[in-house]
Amino acid sequence: MTRTIGVALLGLGNVGGGVVKLLEDNAAAIAARLGARFEVRAIAVREVDKAKRVVDVDRRLLTSDVDAAVRRDDIDIVCELIGGTTLARHAMLAAIAAGKHVVTANKALLAEHGAEVFGAAERAGVDVYYEAAVCGGVPVIRVLREGLASDRVESLHGIVNGTSNYILTEMARTRRPFADILRDAQALGYAEADPTLDISGGDAAHKLAILVNLCFSTTIDVAAIPTEGIDIVEPIDLDYADKWDYVIKPLVIARAHGDPATGPIEARVHPALIPASWLLADVGGAKNALYVQSYALGPSLYYGAGAGMLPTAMSVVSDMIEIGRNIFARVAGAPRPTRPRPVQPRAAMALGELRTRYYLRFGVHDQPGVLGRLMTILGAHHISIAQVVQDGRATGDEPVWVVVVTHEALESDVRAALSEIDTLDVVRQPARLIRISGEVSPA
Ligand SMILES: NC(=O)c1ccc[n+]([C@@H]2O[C@H](COP(=O)([O-])OP(=O)(O)OC[C@H]3O[C@@H](n4cnc5c(N)ncnc54)[C@H](OP(=O)(O)O)[C@@H]3O)[C@@H](O)[C@H]2O)c1
C-alpha cells in the first residue's frame, strides 16, 4: 500500500494554487521519488465562498479556520502560503506547537521572526523549510545549505526582486520614466497593486537577511540593513551608464570582512551600476540570480524564475518531499537545523565605512567655473575621479549635468562632500548617488 503524507495548505492564492496543480500534474513522479504520495486534507483561505480560484479544488477541503486546519491529527506538513507577518506567524507557531512540520514561502516572516520560529521548531522537534522564500523557484537555499556546506562564502551579489529587475530592465530598453513602467508592470501582473515593498528594496532586504544568516551564520536586523529603492534611477542615469558600459541592476550585496568567522558583515540593498560584461548584467526582465563568491568553489551563479505560480510551488513541493524523506528516515526534526544557529553575533559594518566606486550626477547652473568648484570639494574629501563629463548647455529650466565616476572612496567622505556641494549656490538639484559594484574592472 502506498504511504500517504497529510498536508494542510494555508492559502490558496498564486503559490497555494500552484502547489495543488503541481501535486496533481507531477503526482506519479513525486510518488516515485518519495515512495509516498501527498494528500491535501485541508485548505485554509480567507473567503471560503470566493467565486473564482486559481485552481479547482474539492470545496469540502476549504475552511476559514486556520487553527483547526493546523491542529488536525491527520496532518503531517503545514504549508504556510498566506503571507504577511501577523496571521502567518500565529499559524506557523500553532502548527509547530501541534508537532507539524512546516514549509513556508514567507520571507518577511522569516526575516523578522526567524529566531522565534526556528527556536520553537527546534524545541518541538519539527522541520521548517523555506526554499521558496528567496529567489522563488531557484534553489539557492538548498545550494547554500547543502551544496556549499563544506565551503565558505566570502561575498554574494543577488538580483532577488523580480519586480524591480523588470522595471529597471524596461527603463533601460525604452528609456521611459520609472512611473510609466511601473504602471505597465502592474497591468501585466509583474508588480502588486501596492508595489511599495518591492520598489523600496524592503522585500529584497528580507531576502538578504535570510541569505546573510545562511552564508555567515549570524542574524542581522532587517531594519538596520541600508536599503535604497529603484525609484532613485532616472532614464538619464541609464544613458550615462550605457555610455560607460555599465547597466543598472537592483542588487543585494553581502560580504564578510576581517576574520572569516567573527569579522563584521557588510549588507546593503540598492540599485547599482555594474559592468555590462559581468554575468549579472544579463539577468533581465523579472528573472532572479545569485552570484556567490566562495573560498573553495570560487564564483558561481544561480539563475531562474524568482516568482510565479509554478516556479514558486516547485520549491514548496520540493521542500515537502525533503520533509517526507526525513519522516521516512526518522530524522525529521532531529537536531540538524535547516538554519544555522548564530555561532556568535557579528557586527554589521556601517555604511559610512564602505569603500566602493560611485556614480555621481550633479544638476548645476550653466556657469563658468562650476566644474572646478565641484572637483575641488571632491578632492578635499579624498575622492579621486576616474571619469567626468559636463553635458551641453542649459536650455530653459533644465540644469546642466555634471556626471562623475569615482575611484574607490569611503562612503562617509562621499556623503560629506555631497552635503557640502548641495549647499552651493550653483547647484540646482541635490546630487544623485548610485554605487558601482561588480567583479569586472571598468575599461
Ligand atoms: N506569488 C509569488 O510568486 C511568490 C513568490 C515567492 C514567495 N511568495 C510568498 O508566498 C506567500 C503567498 O503568496 P501568494 O502570491 O500566493 O499570495 P496570494 O495570491 O495573495 O494568496 C494568499 C492566500 O492566503 C489566503 N488568506 C489571506 N488571509 C487569510 C486569512 N485571514 N485566513 C485564511 N487565509 C487567508 C487568501 O485567501 P483567499 O483566496 O480566500 O483570499 C489566499 O488564498 C507570501 O508569503 C509571498 O511572499 C510568493
- Pocket test residue of 9, 14, 130, 161 for ligand 1, highest count of atoms within 8 A of CB: 14
Q: What is the mean pLDDT of residues 92-114?
A: 97
Active-site residue 207, yes or no? yes
Q: What is the strand order of the sheet 3-10 is part of?
A: 62-63, 36-44, 3-10, 77-80, 101-104, 128-129
* Alpha helices by DSSP H, 133-195: 140-142, 162-174, 178-188
Residue 296, pLDDT above cutoff 90: yes
Report the pLDDT value the prediction gives residue 339, as an integer from 0 to 100. 76
DSSP 2: -
* Domains and their CATH numbers in the chain: 3-137+309-328 (3.40.50.720), 143-305 (3.30.360.10), 351-436 (3.30.70.260)
Among the residue ranges 83-97, 126-140, 327-341, the one predicted with the least confidence is 327-341
Provide the residue type at 73 as one letter: D
Which long-range contacts does 116-125 make (Cβ < 8 Å, 24+ apart)?
116/89, 117/89, 117/92, 117/93, 118/337, 118/338, 118/339, 120/93, 120/96, 121/96, 121/333, 122/335, 122/337, 124/96, 124/97, 124/99, 124/333, 125/99, 125/333, 125/334
- pLDDT tens, position by position, 404-415: 999 999 999 999
Report the pLDDT value the prediction gives residue 442, as an integer from 0 to 100. 36
Report the pLDDT value the prediction gives residue 438, as an integer from 0 to 100. 83
Q: Is the dihedral of CA 93, 95, 97, 103 positive or negative?
A: negative
- pLDDT tens, position by position, 66-80: 999 999 999 999 999
Q: Give the pLDDT band (50/70/90) at residue 1.
A: low
Q: Give the pLDDT band (50/70/90) at residue 58.
A: very high
Look up cell 516547485; give the residue: 314
- Pocket test residue of 45, 117, 319 for ligand 1, highest count of atoms within 8 A of CB: 45
Beta-carbon count within 10 A of 81 CB: 27
Q: What is the mean pLDDT of residues 379-407?
A: 89
Q: What is the mean pLDDT of residues 269-296?
A: 97
Q: Give the pLDDT band (50/70/90) at residue 297.
A: very high
Q: Give the pLDDT band (50/70/90) at residue 261.
A: confident
User: Ligand 1 centre from 12 Cα, in Å?
Assistant: 7
Residue 380, pLDDT above cutoff 80: yes
- 41 and 75 in contact (C-beta within 8 Å)? yes
Q: What is the mean pLDDT of residues 220-236?
A: 95
Residue 440, pLDDT above cutoff 60: no
Residue 112, pLDDT above cutoff 60: yes
DSSP 146: I
Report the pLDDT value the prediction gives residue 313, as an integer from 0 to 100. 98
Average pLDDT across the chain, whole number: 94
User: Cα–Cα distance between 6 and 26 in angstroms, integer?
Assistant: 17
83 lines ligand 1 (CB under 6 A): yes
Q: What is the mean pLDDT of residues 214-220?
A: 93
199 lines ligand 1 (CB under 6 A): no
Report the pLDDT value the prediction gives residue 441, as an integer from 0 to 100. 43
Q: Following DSSP, what letter does each residue of 333-366 receive, concatenated?
A: TSS--SSPPPSS--PBPPGGG-EEEEEEEEEE-S
